């Protein structure tokens, strides 16, 4: 880790030592939000306050040389939760230097890399740790220390990654809403490697677009981002859960075919951990754009996806054998108003267990309002411990 | 160049040229000349200020940077990078505009650092709430094979003699039944476009003005005003800081380049 940080600082110094002045831009945003839970919690020890205020701040500083051939990016993110201290987070989302030419690109430092094509669950997206306290079934990722060397050409794009400074997952406190029934000890973390967080990880990914067909293949070796949860007992013989991160190989395949207003896509992963255990996850589905059919000037997308995971548990994705369906409507108006509604159907339990609504609109050049609803209807499965934690979030975002 | 121009003008001014195969040939030849004179730039870049004005008078402004690359025998590639409004700052849209075949389009969402390929059908949707659609923006770069053509007549626009050519989209899922285009007979630049919707009703008019010549050859409009006759709203694009042949290449217009 120290080596990478030294490399970052050296590259910074080298990039700006020349006579060419860098172009510097600063931007960012602040938000205030209230989470409200209409129902009383499942467990007596949980917080009964109906409203949970949260504040976030984010800044982005970019300094770039001529034609973006050299760039330094600093993009920290902070979240303060007035009720659940473990939901407060400081994330070094981006702190990187990057340089490149026509056929290559290199970056070193903290960054977020998104892999995948699906709308709901992206099993191939494995490099960054998930910020699970941010939202139910969140897509938000934490910055990951990495060096990424990219080769570009007619053959496609190949990325080689070296990763370090693993970040274990953060969980809500035991008394907070949306927390598991058995308390998770944040500091009792076990690693499959004696190097612990210092374990070096690696990945390679190839992807290519040929007209309307996109194919991506990836190979990752490192800690599973989604830990195995082990039950243990404390000195008073009270049970708690500790997270264990084993080293694993993950092979991922992503495919997307765009046929006019229909998009077909899938993500497949095959995992093998250090204990010889193998697992498989598949997500496949389609997206249909109604906008051109209705000629309304609006973007109206329908999507349906199937997800299967052979593992028995996951903290990131509380679904095993589910169909998701939903719609996303963008009015394409001056306020960029849009709403997304979707839900799942659990094929094993044969019932709908979650419904999600996200709506947003710009209030002014600098203000945006966001309203979300997370309806959780499961009572006896992976979602049982949060069965009464359906909630609304009212958020106001200001940008500078 | 002179001989081609003379050929085109000689043909289009022939009486009765607006009908039949001759009208089609002449219409296409005029657009070929527009393309020949204003293409060949390699790559170009410009800042764009987009003012959206409602019929009621309320106005808002968006700013962006648009970079375009000509690709031999395969249309153009372009990236629109948004600067404002601030909640979409950093969002980029990459478009591969082909001939008759479907265009390809990707959007980069900075909040998730995600590049997502989107359905080509989105070409008929409004661009950032403006009176322009993605289809309108793409067709600013002349690509001959995207349309069939019919020369109609000559007519003055603001004192400038213009060829009037009707063009019909050949690509799938266009929002228009046809477009009528006024082209300056001297500079071979587009001065006006009328867009007719799928019911063949006049939907919008685009007026281009403030043409200036760059790099001793390329004419570019400083201002484009799109008026929606059905809603009464209008959008004005102001182009500034044109640069050409700055060395942009195919890899600068790839899905992976959007993240940089």
Express each pLDDT in A184-206 by its tens digit: 888 889 999 999 999 999 999 99
Closest-CA residue of chain A to B89 = A27
Closest-CA residue of chain B to A370 = B87
pLDDT at B14 (0 to 100): 40
Using a pLDDT cut of 70, give the percent of chain A over it: 90
Beta bridge partners of A25: A62
Domain assignment of residue B5, yes or no = no
Domain assignment of residue B159, yes or no = yes
Domain assignment of residue B33, yes or no = yes
Q: Out of B173, B255, B260, whose CB is closest to A261?
A: B173
pLDDT at A293 (0 to 100): 58
Is A399 touching B (CB cutoff 8 A)? Answer: yes
- CATH number, residue B150: 2.50.20.10
Residue A294 above 90 pLDDT? no
Residue B2 above 50 pLDDT? no
Give me the mean pLDDT over the A395-399 stretch.
Answer: 97
Is A112 touching B (CB cutoff 8 A)? Answer: yes
Tokens, residue B92: 């980029």
Give me the mean pLDDT over the A170-174 stretch.
Answer: 88
Task: Determine, for residues B113 and A114 on separate chains, whether the beta-carbon distance falls below 8 Å.
Answer: yes
pLDDT at A382 (0 to 100): 67
Is A287 touching B (CB cutoff 8 A)? Answer: yes
Predicted confidence band of residue B121 (pLDDT cuts 50, 70, 90): low
First to last CA, chain A: 32
pLDDT at B226 (0 to 100): 97
Task: Determine, for residues A105 and B85 on separate chains, whether the beta-carbon distance falls below 8 Å.
Answer: no
Considering A170-179, B100-109, B176-185, the range whose residues carry the highest mean pLDDT is B176-185
Domain assignment of residue B101, yes or no = no
C-alpha to C-alpha distances, A162 to A110, A254, A334, A349, nearest whole angstrom: 12, 21, 43, 41
Domain assignment of residue B99, yes or no = no
Closest-CA residue of chain A to B172 = A260
Predicted confidence band of residue B123 (pLDDT cuts 50, 70, 90): confident
Is A102 touching B (CB cutoff 8 A)? Answer: yes
Per the model's pLDDT, the better-predicted residue between A233 and B159 turns out to be B159
CA dihedral A376, A379, A385, A389 (to 10 degrees): 30
Tokens, residue B251: 């890899």
First to last CA, chain B: 41
Q: Out of B113, B175, B257, whose CB is closest to A295?
A: B175
Q: Compute and round to an integer the Cα radius of gyration of chain A.
A: 22
Domain assignment of residue B150, yes or no = yes
Q: How far apart are CA A8 and CA B175, in angstroms?
A: 49
- Could you tell me the residue range of the domain that residue B234 belongs to? 20-41+49-60+123-249
Residue A81 above 80 pLDDT? yes
Domain assignment of residue B156, yes or no = yes
Please name the residues between 316 and 375 in chain A that touch chain B, using a CB distance below 8 Å.
Answer: 330, 332-336, 362, 365-366, 368
Task: Determine, for residues B125 and A333 on separate chains, whether the beta-carbon distance falls below 8 Å.
Answer: no
3-class SS of residue A342: strand
Beta bridge partners of A398: A30, A367
Q: Out of B60, B122, B133, whose CB is closest to A289?
A: B122
Residue B175 above 70 pLDDT? yes
ipTM score over 0.95, yes or no: no
Distance from CA of B10 to the nearest CA of A (A): 40
The total number of structural domains in chain B stands at: 1
Give me the mean pLDDT over the A309-338 stretch.
Answer: 86
Residue B217 above 60 pLDDT? yes
Task: Determine, for residues B114 and A368 on separate chains, whether the beta-carbon distance falls below 8 Å.
Answer: no
Q: Specify the length of chain A in residues.
A: 400
State chain B's mean pLDDT as an integer: 86
Tokens, residue B70: 């000509």
Predicted confidence band of residue A182 (pLDDT cuts 50, 70, 90): confident
Q: Judging by DSSP bridges, how do beta strands B218-228 and B234-244 pair with one another?
A: antiparallel
Q: Please return the burial class of A286, using the count of CB atoms within 10 Å of its CB with bins 0-12, 13-18 and 19+.
A: middle
pLDDT at B54 (0 to 100): 86
CA angle A336, B129, A364 (to 5 degrees): 50
pLDDT at B137 (0 to 100): 87
Count of C-beta atoms within a 10 Å radius of residue A366 = 15
Per the model's pLDDT, the better-predicted residue between A325 and A317 turns out to be A325
Task: Determine, for residues A263 and B119 on separate chains, whether the beta-carbon distance falls below 8 Å.
Answer: yes
DSSP state of A351: B
Task: Determine, for residues B60 and A114 on separate chains, whether the beta-carbon distance falls below 8 Å.
Answer: no
Q: With the C-alpha atoms ordered B56, B59, B60, B65, is the resulting torsion angle positive or negative? A: positive
Domain assignment of residue B176, yes or no = yes
Percent helix / strand / coil, chain B, rounded to 5: 20, 50, 30
3-class SS of residue B144: helix
């Amino acid at each position: 880790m120290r080596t990478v940080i030294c490399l970052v600082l050296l590259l910074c110094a080298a990039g700006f030592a020349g006579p060419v002045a860098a172009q510097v831009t600063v931007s960012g945003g602040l938000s205030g939000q209230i989470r409200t839970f209409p129902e009383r919690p499942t467990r007596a020890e949980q917080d009964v306050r109906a409203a949970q205020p949260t504040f976030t701040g984010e800044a982005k500083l970019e300094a770039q040389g001529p034609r973006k051939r050299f760039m330094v990016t600093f993009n920290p993110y902070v979240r303060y939760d007035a009720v659940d201290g473990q939901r407060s987070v400081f994330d070094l989302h981006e702190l990187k230097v990057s340089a490149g030419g026509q056929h290559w690109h290199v970056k070193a430092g903290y960054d977020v890399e998104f892999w995948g094509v699906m709308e709901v669950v992206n099993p191939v997206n494995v490099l960054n740790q998930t910020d699970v306290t941010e939202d139910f079934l969140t897509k938000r990722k934490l910055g990951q220390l990495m060096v990424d060397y990219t080769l570009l050409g007619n053959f496609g794009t190949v990325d080689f990654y070296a990763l370090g400074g693993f970040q274990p997952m953060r969980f809500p406190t035991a008394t907070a809403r949306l927390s598991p029934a058995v308390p998770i000890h944040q500091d009792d973390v076990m690693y499959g490697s004696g190097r612990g967080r210092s374990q070096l990880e690696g990945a390679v990914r190839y992807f290519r677009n040929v007209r309307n067909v996109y194919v991506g293949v990836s190979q990752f070796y490192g800690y599973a981002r989604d830990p195995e949860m082990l039950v243990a007992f404390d000195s008073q013989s009270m049970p708690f859960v500790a997270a264990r991160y084993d080293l694993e190989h993950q092979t991922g395949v992503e495919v997307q075919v765009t046929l006019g207003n229909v998009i077909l896509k899938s993500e497949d992963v095959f995992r093998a951990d250090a204990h010889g255990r193998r697992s498989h996850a598949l997500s496949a589905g389609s997206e249909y754009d109604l906008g051109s059919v209705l000629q309304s000037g609006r973007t109206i997308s329908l999507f349906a996806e199937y997800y299967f995971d052979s593992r028995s548990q996951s903290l990131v994705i509380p679904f095993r054998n589910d169909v998701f369906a939903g719609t996303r409507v963008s009015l394409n108006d001056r306020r960029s108003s849009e709403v997304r509604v979707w839900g799942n159907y659990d094929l094993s339990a044969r019932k709908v267990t979650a419904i999600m609504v996200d709506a947003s609109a710009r209030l002014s050049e600098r203000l945006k309002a966001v309203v979300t609803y997370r309806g959780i209807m499961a009572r006896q499965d992976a979602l049982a411990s949060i069965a009464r934690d359906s909630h609304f979030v009212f958020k106001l975002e200001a940008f500078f | 160049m002179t001989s081609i121009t003379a050929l085109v003008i000689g043909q289009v001014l022939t009486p009765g040229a607006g009908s039949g195969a001759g009208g089609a040939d002449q219409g296409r030849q005029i657009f070929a000349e527009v393309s020949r004179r204003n293409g060949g730039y390699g790559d170009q870049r410009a800042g764009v200020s987009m003012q959206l004005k409602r019929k009621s008078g309320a106005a808002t402004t968006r700013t962006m940077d648009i970079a375009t690359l000509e690709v031999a025998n395969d249309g153009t590639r372009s990236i629109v990078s948004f600067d404002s409004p601030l909640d979409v700052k950093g969002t980029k849209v990459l478009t591969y505009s082909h001939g008759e075949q479907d265009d390809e389009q990707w959007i980069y969402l900075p909040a998730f650092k995600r590049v997502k390929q989107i359905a080509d059908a989105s070409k008929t949707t409004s661009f950032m709430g403006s009176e322009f659609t993605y289809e309108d923006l793409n067709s600013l770069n002349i690509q001959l094979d995207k349309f069939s053509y019919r020369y109609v007549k000559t007519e003055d626009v603001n004192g400038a003699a213009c060829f009037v050519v009707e063009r019909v989209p050949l690509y799938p899922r266009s929002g228009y039944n046809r477009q009528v285009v006024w082209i300056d007979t001297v500079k071979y630049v587009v001065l006006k476009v009328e867009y007719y919707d799928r019911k063949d009703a006049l939907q919008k008019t685009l007026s281009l003005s403030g043409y200036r010549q760059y790099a001793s050859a390329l004419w570019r409009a400083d201002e484009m005003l799109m008026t929606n006759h059905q809603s009464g709203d209008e959008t004005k694009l102001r182009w500034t800081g044109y640069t050409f042949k700055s060395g942009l290449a195919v890899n600068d217009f790839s899905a992976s380049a959007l993240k940089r």
